[in-house]
Structure 1
Amino acid sequence: MPLFIPTAPAAATRSVRTALHSPTVRSPHPLRLERGDLDPVLPLPVHRLAPVTGTTEPPEARLTGWRFLLARDGRPVGAAETMLTADGWAFSHVTEGPFIASTERAMLLAESLPAAYQPRLLSVPELYMLTLWLHTDLGADPESGSPLPGDLLMPLAPAPPGIAAERAVRTDALLPLLTSRVAPLGLAS
């Protein structure tokens, strides 16, 4: 089914394009060369999961930025992120690494699923984990909301030990595993 890719705020897109053409913005070594030929594609809102405290309460997430894959000759080679500041959207940083290729693979897998979704990214900092969040509410504002029980989460590689990467799992099935992993010492049962 098709994915309903959200439209990034114009200021976020503009800040990435400006940064890619700026000689003062640092980037990882391979992206430093010929940065002008990098094209920001596939904007996805990045939400941060609040610390998971149990399985009875729905998880909460808040928007932290927008991530754009950076394509060279049609292939993703990096990513650029923006963040919301008091003055609006601003460029944050350029990155590379395994999450780039994993994002591309996860998006292809998501397109093969039988239902339509609005893709987002969900960060779980306590586990150094990033997931493709497939939101079931296609009309939702991409900058707000939290994972619904029927939403799918697809951990990106590398995923924490014991969590399968690039495999879609319902939020209500993955949440207990995340809860057990981030429970404070002495409180885990």
Structure 2
Amino acid sequence: MQLTYPKAPSNGVQTLRPALQAALQTQGFGVNRQFANATAGKISLSEAYRGYSLTLEDLSNGKGLKDARIGNWHYLVFADGLTIADAQLAEVRGHVEFSSLNHGNMAAATVGALKLAEQSPQLHGKTVELRVLFVSALHVVAIWLHADGEDLLIPIEPTPKELALAQVYSEAALLAKLKPAADQAKRRFDADTSGQLGN
């Protein structure tokens, strides 16, 4: 399997570096010992890839990946060979700005999904673009391997295990698994008159 990446913002890495250095100096990331112990000189970044999202409405209405909304740029952050964070840039009025730093399990889970993909017979010899898909209302995150004519997805943490397991799914198979939960959640949202759900 060969990974390809979209054309990243030319100043993406320069935009991220000060934010990463500030985060390292504050040592405010006690939950992630690897991040807290990393030194700025040992930090490296992956190629940039895009996040996409689908809503409950999209899933309920049978929409697929071609309808996914394009989101932030993502970079995996490495230190001493370990994946320690997922850094994000948002495009704002034609330029990129630092958006967030996720130092939870998402970065390591992304690398785990890519290792799983490399071993998958379905992906043997294929060239795919790395993407990440979010269905926030269901807490679903999936690594999206996009190729001409075929899209494969690998759910990662924090995706609930009862919705989907960490394995390779076709677009149709994963969306079919998520649709009942999306329909149920949408009914709950639609029936809510308090205005509190989703806040």
| TM-score bin (small chain) | 0.7 to 0.9
Task: Say whether the 8 Å CA contact 1:118–1:136 is kept in structure 2.
Answer: yes
Q: CA deviation at 1:80?
A: 0.8
Partner of 2:100: 93
Matched residues in 2 for 1:117 and 1:177: separation? Answer: 23
Matched residues in 2 for 1:131 and 1:23: separation? Answer: 26
Q: Which moved more, 1:158-167 or 1:117-126?
A: 158-167
Q: CA deviation at 1:7?
A: 4.0
Secondary structure, counterpart of 2:145 in structure 1: strand
Show CA shifts across 1:83-120 (max 9, x none). Answer: 11125111111121222211011111223322321110
Instruction: Name stretches of at least 5 consecutive residues in structure 2 with no aligned partner.
Output: 191-199
Assess, with a 3 A threshold, how the Cα gap between structure 1 residues 35 and 88 changes in structure 2: closer, same or farther.
farther
Q: CA deviation at 1:182?
A: 1.3
Larger radius of gyration: 2
Secondary structure, counterpart of 2:106 in structure 1: helix
Q: CA RMSD in A?
A: 2.5
Assess, with a 3 A threshold, how the Cα gap between structure 1 residues 121 and 104 changes in structure 2: closer, same or farther.
same
Partner of 1:185: 187
Q: CA deviation at 1:162?
A: 2.0
Compute the TM-score of the two structures, normalised by the length of structure 2. Answer: 0.76
Amino acid of the structure 2 residue aligned with 1:14: Q
The answer on 1:134 being equivalent to 2:145 is: yes
Partner of 1:13: 13
Task: Say whether the 8 Å CA contact 1:69–1:100 is kept in structure 2.
Answer: yes
Partner of 2:129: 118
Q: CA deviation at 1:132?
A: 0.3
Matched residues in 1 for 2:157 and 2:111: separation? Answer: 11
Secondary structure, counterpart of 1:3 in structure 2: strand
Task: Say whether the 8 Å CA contact 1:54–1:176 is kept in structure 2.
Answer: no
Partner of 1:140: none
Task: Say whether the 8 Å CA contact 1:49–1:123 is kept in structure 2.
Answer: yes
Matched residues in 1 for 2:47 and 2:116: separation? Answer: 15
Amino acid of the structure 2 residue aligned with 1:74: G
Assess, with a 3 A threshold, how the Cα gap between structure 1 residues 25 and 85 changes in structure 2: closer, same or farther.
farther
Q: CA deviation at 1:166?
A: 2.4
Partner of 1:67: 74
Between Structure 1 and Structure 2, how many residues are aligned? 175
Q: Which moved more, 1:76-85 or 1:20-29?
A: 20-29
Aligned with residue 38 of structure 1, among 31, 37, 43: 43
Q: CA deviation at 1:35?
A: 4.7
Partner of 1:2: 2
Secondary structure, counterpart of 1:151 in structure 2: strand
Assess, with a 3 A threshold, how the Cα gap between structure 1 residues 24 and 58 changes in structure 2: closer, same or farther.
closer
Q: CA deviation at 1:70?
A: 0.8
Partner of 2:64: 58
Compute the TM-score of the two structures, normalised by the length of structure 1. Answer: 0.80
Assess, with a 3 A threshold, how the Cα gap between structure 1 residues 48 and 128 changes in structure 2: closer, same or farther.
same
**Structure with the bigger percentage of helix:** 2
Aligned with residue 115 of structure 2, among 85, 108, 112: 108
Matched residues in 1 for 2:55 and 2:161: separation? Answer: 21
Matched residues in 2 for 1:128 and 1:19: separation? Answer: 26
Task: Say whether the 8 Å CA contact 1:6–1:43 is kept in structure 2.
Answer: yes
